């Protein structure tokens, strides 16, 4: 009774915004990064980075894809640069490095808090014998999971480091979720995807997964359904005691 069809044998969870509250920290870091960048380029005609920009162009995507996609929406194309670019350079990697620098600083200062309802759901899924994996675009997943005390549940982890290493396409492509299912030895149709990002829900649907749970942390329940969520909840604890 954890709100999933009886055919489901594995759960693939996004991290930020589904298991931990770090999505808010990422959103703040992206806003500061892009606002500072845009002001430097054109202070007199500055249009700030918005919540809608975050949901449409950044949320759920690998870091560098988020940089490219948002800047393209503003008609800006930067050279790629390389991983070692300083944060103040005008390259895709540099902008991504600046954002990562900011979010790591905030995480160090504020810590990482898992959602209590998500912890309860992980415990219930584990008791039910379901395999548990995390699929996230974040390159900081190892430290975030450990800081939140959630690494004890996770049998498979596909994160930003793995996505880059294995040259997987980022969400909304399904590659990372499909890789997570393979690591758990599970066919996609027997796995459930849990996502708060529109791009992540799209990825779950595109991958042919057996059930897609949309987690509504940003007042976008209708959009999550439109992108393919089978069910939308405000907190994972709402699924406990429910039969799908």
Strand 191-195 and strand 211-215: the pairing is parallel
Catalytic residue among 16, 59, 85, 230: 16
Give the tens place of pLDDT for each residue, 224-238. 999 999 999 999 999
Local confidence band at 148 (pLDDT 50, 70, 90 cut-offs): very high
Query: To which residue do tokens 């909840």 refer?
Result: 233
| pLDDT score at 39 | 95
Are residues 125 and 9 in contact, defined by beta-carbon separation less than 8 angstroms? no
Give the tens place of pLDDT for each residue, 44-77. 889 999 999 998 999 889 999 999 999 999 999 9
Is the pLDDT at 244 greater than 70? The verdict is no
Catalytic residue among 14, 65, 159, 230: 14
pTM for the structure as a whole: 0.82
Strand 191-195 and strand 10-13: the pairing is parallel
Query: To which residue do tokens 């996004």 refer?
Result: 14
16 a catalytic residue: yes
| pLDDT score at 48 | 96
């Amino acid at each position: 009774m954890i709100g999933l069809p009886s055919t489901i044998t594995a759960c693939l969870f996004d991290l930020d915004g589904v298991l931990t509250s770090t999505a808010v920290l990422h959103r703040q870091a992206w806003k500061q990064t892009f606002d500072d960048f845009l002001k430097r380029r054109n202070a007199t005609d500055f249009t700030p980075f918005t919540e809608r920009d975050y949901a449409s162009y950044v949320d759920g995507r690998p870091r560098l894809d988020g940089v490219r996609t948002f800047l393209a929406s503003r008609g800006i194309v930067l050279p790629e640069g390389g991983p070692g670019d300083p944060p103040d350079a005008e390259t895709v990697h540099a902008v991504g490095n600046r954002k990562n620098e900011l979010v790591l600083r905030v995480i160090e200062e504020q810590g990482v808090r898992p959602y209590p309802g998500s912890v309860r759901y992980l415990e219930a899924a584990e008791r039910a014998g379901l395999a548990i994996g995390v699929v996230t675009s974040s390159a900081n997943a190892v430290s975030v999971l450990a800081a939140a005390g959630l690494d004890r549940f996770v049998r498979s982890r596909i994160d930003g480091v793995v996505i880059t290493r294995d040259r997987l396409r980022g969400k909304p492509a399904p590659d990372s979720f499909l890789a997570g299912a393979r690591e758990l030895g599970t066919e996609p149709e027997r796995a459930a995807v849990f996502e708060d990002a529109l791009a992540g829900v799209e990825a779950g649907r595109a991958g042919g997964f057996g059930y897609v749970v949309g987690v509504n942390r940003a007042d976008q329940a209708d959009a999550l359904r439109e992108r393919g969520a089978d069910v939308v909840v405000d907190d994972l604890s709402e699924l406990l005691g429910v039969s799908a």
